[in-house]
Amino acid sequence: MKSTINDVAAQAGVSIKTVSRVINNEPSVRPATRKKVMDAVAALNYQPNLAARNLAGTRSYTIALIYDNPNAYYVIDMQNGILETCKARGYELLIHPSNAKSDSVNDELRGLVENSKVAGVVLTPPFSETQSVIDEVKRLGLDYVRIVSSDAAHGDEDNCIQIDDGAAAYDITKHLIEHGHRRIGFLCGGEEHVSTHGRLDGYTRALQQAGIEVDPTLIIPGEYSFDSGVSGAKALLAAEQPPTAIFASNDEMAAGALFASRLMHVAIPEQLSIVGFEDSPFSRQTWPKLTTAHQPNIEIARCAAALVLNKARSKSASESASANKDAGIMKNFVPELVVRDSTGQAPGT
């Protein structure tokens, strides 16, 4: 028979109201009382009905993740990281995929507020970097956190988890330069993503600081997809002077570039080095494994969820007085270079 809140109260020797305050993570409960209640919850395997809590009062126990990303690994990491934090704090996660190129995004946001009663929202690129979406979230009075490339914070740093794409791309390009590469191709992601511009900026800065002229014919526009990596690499390798290295804006594109190289009988890394970005499973499932930049997406997602939940919970008077409540949340990430077998010395060096 399923345990109820009454059973928990009886087991812990407290009132039902006290059990409710503990389950809702309210701060005014003494540690000893909180422990008694949580011990009873564990002993009885009690599962709070979060949907009923949402319906019963004015306070919501659901946050939403809004995304449009063709990379399934990225989406899964985001979901897992946010869900882990939600479960730990007694909240639910509403996952809402959407089309960033659609004109109905703001209508969907209004629907979330009217129909799903969310406490807050985590925005991922490109929504987190689209001003009309940010303005609508603010107009609706939603607590929000944006996961963004550093250049997209725009004075909104308190609501942002930032990824320094430029610094990581600089390190990757420098790694290639140190291995003797001077003709380095760059495969761009989608134009609508600020990360694309940040990664391109890091690439160009590294070249310029090494005294290497930036060749626009080596920079290929594209999308964050395997097929884009294939077509971009084919275009670079078919040139009269092909590059000795290719920097793809994410691992999925890099895997596509590796596939194209094989089709064109180009040996990796003996004739061509290839690097990616993000350290997704794509980077470890190829042969050879890809040099990349490790972007800790699950940890980024955990921090985003913790930040938006802190904002939602701080609306109660008892918690708004809590000083420096976000101090332990990491808000700035620099993806770290991971060297694997897809990079080597430039031919002839």
**What pLDDT is recorded for position 2?**
73
Give SS3 for 136: helix
Q: Give the model's pLDDT for residue 42.
A: 83
Q: What is the pLDDT of residue 315?
A: 58
Cα dihedral sign, 301-64-122-328: negative
- Name the one residue in this structure whose structure tokens are 């507020």: 113
pTM over 0.75, yes/no = yes
Domains and CATH numbers, the chain: 5-48 (1.10.260.40), 60-164+296-333 (3.40.50.2300), 165-295 (3.40.50.2300)
SS3 63: strand
**What does the pLDDT look like over 291-330, one tens digit per residue?**
999 999 999 999 999 999 998 876 544 444 444 567 679 9
Q: Across residues 103-116, what is the average pLDDT?
A: 80
Q: For 49, list phi and psi in degrees, rounded to 5.
A: -85, 95
Q: How many CB atoms lie within 10 A of CB 251?
A: 30
54-93 confidence digits (pLDDT tens): 444 445 678 999 998 777 889 999 999 999 999 888 888 9
- Give the phi and the psi of residue 165 in degrees, each rounded to 5: -60, -40
Q: Between 105 and 211, whose confidence is greater? A: 211
DSSP assignment of 265-319: T--TTTT-EEE-SB--HHHHHSSSPPBEEE--HHHHHHHHHHHHHHHHHTTSHHH
Strand pairing report for 292-294 and 332-333: unpaired
Q: pLDDT averaged over the chain? A: 88
Residue 211's Cβ-side half-sphere holds a number of Cα atoms within 13 Å equal to 2
